[in-house]
Structure formats: C-alpha cells, structure tokens
Amino acid sequence: MSVSEELHVIGRPLVEAQLAHPTVVGIARGDLPEPVFRSWLEQDYLFLLDYVRVFSRLAWQAPDGHLGDLVDLAHATFHEELSLHRSLSAEFGADLGGARKGPACAAYTSFLLDSAAVYADGLAALYPCMWGYSTLGRALAENPPAEPRYRAWVDTYAHPAFAELTGRVAVMIDEAAPEPGRAGRLFTEGMAHELAFWDVP
C-alpha cells in the first residue's frame, strides 16, 4: 500500500465525522442558516489565501517534476476556488475584505505554513484539505441540495477536475516518499483542523 493509500484509510472515518457535523449537514440539506455560511465563507477565504502561500513555499523546494503541479495548484486555488468564494460572497453578503481570522483558521494556517518548511511534511499536511473536500463533495453530490447556492458549492468540490488535482497531490506525496508514520501524524492533525474549521466562529 502506498503512503497516499494509507492516508486514505486513516482519513475515511475522519471524513465521516465531517459529514455528520451540523454545518456540513446544513449544506447537504440546503438549509444551513445564512449567517453561519457567511461566517464560514469569510474564514475559508482567508484560509485559501494562505493555502496558496503553502503551495508557493513548497514550489520553491520542489523537485523539477513537481514544480509545474504546484504552480498549477496555486493558480487553480487562487483563480478558481477563490472565485467561487467571491461569487458566493455577493450571494451571502460576506465581507471578504474586512474578515479577520478566527482561532480555528489561525491555528490551521499556522500548522500548514510551519509544516511546509519541509517538503514532504508540507505535502502530507496540506493533503487533508484537498482530499477531504473532494471526498465530501462526491458524497454530498449523491443527494445534492436543491438550494442553488449550496448546490454550486457541492458541485465545485464534486467536480472531476478537483478530484484530478487531488490525485496529483497523492502522486507527489508518494514520489516524495515521506516516512509513513510521520506522514500519518501530519495528515491526522490536518484532518483534525478540518473538522474544527466547521465550528464556525
């Protein structure tokens, strides 16, 4: 079993915990109160700005064969994923420019930026976000919400293109050959941050 496959085994019950979280349940039903999603949207916008920085920090260290992938991932996050947040912010009245990080966002981004000081560590630490959202998106798309704004959110993370980007990170993790135990610990810590992030401030 490859390192990325071992991480998937670790991650499956942790994704189930996210699927049971009230915020995710509300998105799935399409009845999450707007103030809750607005707050989540502002926090995730700030998170994704730092996620781009994590990709960029790793790109500086990357072997030649990974450099293009990391540049592509930074570009897709900044221009596509953040575009979704900007469009949804108008729908929900979010104040992206005035938002400030809550404790969960600050703790998660600090963990990621610190982990990215070591290339293989950084890949394992950032993988929960991509793999977790891709897995969540596909699960929620099996019975998508009728509410169009929440449906757009689900469709983004259920899209095959997002799954493809996630798969590219899995390949990079395996090629970077991190020590499996350490990779598992970083991945598990990242998944814990993912769950905490749904506790909207």
Q: What is the pTM of this model?
A: 0.95
- Cα distance between residue 26 and residue 179, in whole Å: 38
Per residue in 94-140, pLDDT (tens digit) is: 999 999 999 999 999 999 999 999 999 999 999 999 999 999 999 99
According to DSSP, residue 160 is labeled H
What is 57-105 written as a DSSP string? Answer: HHHHH--HHHHHHHHHHHHHIIIIIHHHHHHHHHHHT--TTT----HHH
- Cα distance between residue 144 and residue 133, in whole Å: 15
Per residue in 145-158, pLDDT (tens digit) is: 999 999 999 999 99
* Number of Cβ atoms within 10 Å of the Cβ of 188: 15
Per residue in 16-69, pLDDT (tens digit) is: 999 999 999 999 999 999 999 999 999 999 999 999 999 999 999 999 999 999
What is the per-residue pLDDT for 84? Answer: 87
Half-sphere exposure (Cβ direction) of 88: Cα atoms closer than 13 Å: 25
What is the per-residue pLDDT for 200? Answer: 86
